[in-house]
Amino acid sequence: MVGRGFATVLILILFALACLAGSRRIGRDRRLVAKLRAARAFDSDSGVPLGELTPDQRDSARSLAAAGVLAIRRNRCFIVQSQLSMFRYRRTRATLAAGFVALAVAVLVAILILRR
């Protein structure tokens, strides 16, 4: 049977991997929005062609389009400015909530380790 320590380590590793994946995703989305802003892609005429984006950027563009922050029309993506401020607010709130959960898990693990 697997010991408690092994299970704790396994859970912490999985939690760390989930945090890394989330932070990478947020970083990719932020870089894509910055790239579109730099290109002044605010309508379909000035949008960035999907062919100019890397596969990771295209994946981020699809997820941001599903969230309503970007629009993809005529094989070009551009920022929907009216949705950008609400998206930032939601993203910041989600990031802070994830940080508090990570802190709570760290405190819980520390308490469990120190109780032994």
**DSSP for 47-79, written as a single string:** PEEGGGS-HHHHHHHHHHHHHTSEEEETTEEEE
What pTM value is reported for the model?
0.73
Q: Compute CA distances 108 → 11, 15, 34, 35, 95, whole Å.
A: 12, 13, 37, 40, 20
Establish if 4 belongs to a structural domain.
Answer: no
Overall number of domains in the chain: 1
Instruction: Assess whether pLDDT exceeds 80 at residue 41.
Output: yes
3 versus 22: the higher-pLDDT residue is 22
**94: amino acid identity, one letter:** A
Query: SS3 for 89?
Result: helix
Assign 19 a pLDDT band (cuts: 50, 70, 90): confident
Establish if 5 belongs to a structural domain.
Answer: no
Establish if 104 belongs to a structural domain.
Answer: yes
> In the chain, pLDDT over 90 holds for what percent of residues?
20
CA distance 50 to 4: 49
Instruction: Assess whether pLDDT exceeds 60 at residue 1.
Output: no
Other C-beta atoms within 10 Å of 19: how many? Answer: 15
- Look up the domain containing 63 and give its range: 11-115
What is the reported pLDDT for 26?
85
Establish if 68 belongs to a structural domain.
Answer: yes
Show Cβ contacts of residue 83 under 8 Å, excluding neighbours closer than 6 positions: 67, 68, 69
Instruction: Assess whether pLDDT exceeds 70 at residue 46.
Output: yes
CA 107 to chain centre: 24
What is the reported pLDDT for 88?
80
What is the reported pLDDT for 58?
92
Query: SS3 for 109?
Result: helix
Assign 2 a pLDDT band (cuts: 50, 70, 90): low
Establish if 78 belongs to a structural domain.
Answer: yes
Report which of 115, 111, 109 is spatially closest to residue 11, judged by C-alpha positions: 109
